[in-house]
Amino acid sequence: MFLTNALLKKVKSRRVMVLMESVVTGYKKTATKQRIYDKLEVIAWDPYIRAMCVFKEKKRIRSL
């Protein structure tokens, strides 16, 4: 094994894109968070009911 192959290890990014889903209607949106944080919960605008509601993180989409 060459020394250069050992040095070309892929580095993980600090931020990830996650899929958020509305608790009330199931409307989905994306958000970014830092990798070290726990599951994300935010209060945001839901266009279906035209009001603020809670969005919970469903899954990670990709690294940024």
Distance CA 21, CA 12 (A): 25
| Residue 12 CB coordination number (10 Å) | 7
The confidence score (pLDDT) of residue 6 equals: 60
Confidence at 61, pLDDT banded by 50, 70, 90: very high
- Nearest by Cα to 54 from 37, 18, 29: 29
Q: Where along the chain do its domains lie?
A: 13-63
Distance CA 14, CA 28 (A): 23
Distance CA 9, CA 22 (A): 38
The confidence score (pLDDT) of residue 3 equals: 60
The confidence score (pLDDT) of residue 12 equals: 81
pLDDT in tens, 1-60: 566 666 667 778 899 999 999 999 999 999 999 999 999 999 999 999 999 999 999 999
This prediction's pTM: 0.78
13-63: CATH class: mainly beta
